[in-house]
Amino acid sequence: MFPTSVEETQKALEAHHYIADKGLSVAVFLALKLRRPLLLEGEPGVGKTEIVKVLAQMLGTRLIRLQCYEGLDISSAVYEWDYARQMMQIRLLEATGERDQDKVRHEVFSLEFLLKRPLLQALQSQDGQAPVLLIDELDRADEEFEAFLLEFLSDWQITVPEVGTLKAEQPPVVVITSNRTREIHDALKRRCMYYWIDYPSFDKEYRIVREKVPGVPEKLAQQAVAFVQELRKQDLYKAPGVAETLDWASSLLALGQTELSGEVVEETLGVLLKYQDDVVKAKNQARDLLARAQMFPAL
């Protein structure tokens, strides 16, 4: 379904188990309505990629994902010819005695032999529905790809020299994510609706945990979230994201815990923190943080 207001967007996302701030709902709604790409930035693990999956479900359309990396080029992002089959076709034509060069060329460079990569796929609607295109971690790609993308996002068309220009019947819903290991070029940013996803508040994160980890006891969820919230205030190299909180809550559940204890926290810190220095630091402060988390007033 296509939301007609900000409130509807927020509700629809929630119906698909994604709890979004009002600000994010506004950005998503406007991106859909004004047909602009949506640029999401934020620390790893705050749910940038997740919302795109939900968006595709919500709109009832397919999700096409392009993972970026340095050196990403046309043949892996847009299209490639199926050389092996083309070769075979040429041999076959040869065997039938075909000598007309134009005809060979026409036959070998038909859409049949074109391998469509994500950007080209994104131009195709299915049952009148444009897909959702996720361009994930654009900061990992290089400037050359960004420049190409800029053109793609404004024209919604791709030119394959041998075939001609392929144009979208209707532009896809585009979401770009970035972890900011590099600044995205201003020209590209300005084409997008921009939203910075922050770490969630206690209330929001608690709701997310209850939503995503069914069966986790209320008290455990409260304490775990409060602990993570405290942990984020510490001077860590990499603070835990929401994804880590969810992993942790699941782990605690799997270990049969009903309440946080110092022992279990120390044993499972590795689920939350991904740098050894951080783990050591957090271990030293674990008791203190735990005490604060346990003091957290019940909702």
Q: For another protein, which is the closer residue by CB, 29 or 252? A: 29
Q: How far is the CB of 23 from another protein (least distance, A)?
A: 4
Q: For another protein, which is the closer residue by CB, 32 or 130? A: 32
Closest by CA position to 243, among listed 197, 278, 288, 280: 197
Is 67 a binding residue for another protein by CB under 8 A? The answer is no
- Could you give the maximum distance between any two Cα atoms of the chain, in Å? 86
Q: How far is the CB of 25 from another protein (least distance, A)?
A: 8
Residue type, 236: L
Buried b (16+ CB within 10 A) or exposed e, 157-195: ebebeeeeebebeebbbbbbbbbeeeebeeebeeebbbb
Is 280 a binding residue for another protein by CB under 8 A? The answer is no
Is 75 a binding residue for another protein by CB under 8 A? The answer is yes
Residue span binding another protein (CB under 8 A) among the ranges 82-90, 130-138, 205-213, 259-267? 82-90
Q: How far is the CB of 140 from another protein (least distance, A)?
A: 9
Q: How far is the CB of 92 from another protein (least distance, A)?
A: 11
Tell me how far apart the alpha carbons of residues 174 and 145 are, in angstroms, rounded to a whole number: 16
Q: Which of residues 216-255 bind another protein (CB under 8 A)?
A: 235, 237
Could you give the 3-state DSSP secondary structure of residue 39?
Answer: strand
Tell me how far apart the alpha carbons of residues 36 and 247 are, in angstroms, rounded to a whole number: 33
Answer whether 64's CB lies under 8 Å from 131's CB.
yes
Is 30 a binding residue for another protein by CB under 8 A? The answer is yes
Q: For another protein, which is the closer residue by CB, 9 or 223? A: 9
Tell me how far apart the alpha carbons of residues 6 and 221 are, in angstroms, rounded to a whole number: 29
Is 137 a binding residue for another protein by CB under 8 A? The answer is no
Q: Which of residues 104-123 bind another protein (CB under 8 A)?
A: 104-105, 108
Residue type, 295: M
Is 281 a binding residue for another protein by CB under 8 A? The answer is no
Give the one residue of 63, 90, 264, 279 binding another protein; rule: CB under 8 A.
90
Give the one residue of 16, 17, 71, 258 binding another protein; rule: CB under 8 A.
71
Q: Which of residues 175-204 bind another protein (CB under 8 A)?
A: 180-183, 186, 189-196, 198
Is 6 a binding residue for another protein by CB under 8 A? The answer is yes
Q: How far is the CB of 214 from another protein (least distance, A)?
A: 29
Closest by CA position to 2, among listed 22, 32, 30: 32
Residue type, 15: A
Answer whether 213's CB lies under 8 Å from 250's CB.
yes
Q: For another protein, which is the closer residue by CB, 197 or 213? A: 197
Strands, E assignment, the chain? 38-41, 63-67, 79-81, 114-116, 132-136, 157-160, 164-167, 173-178, 193-196
Question: In the structure encoding, which two tokens stand for residue 263, read together?
Answer: 């022992």
Q: How far is the CB of 165 from another protein (least distance, A)?
A: 19
Contacts with another protein by CB under 8 A lie at: 5-6, 21-23, 26-27, 29-30, 33-34, 36, 39, 41, 69-71, 73, 75, 80-81, 83, 86-87, 90-91, 94, 101, 104-105, 108, 142, 144, 180-183, 186, 189-196, 198, 235, 237
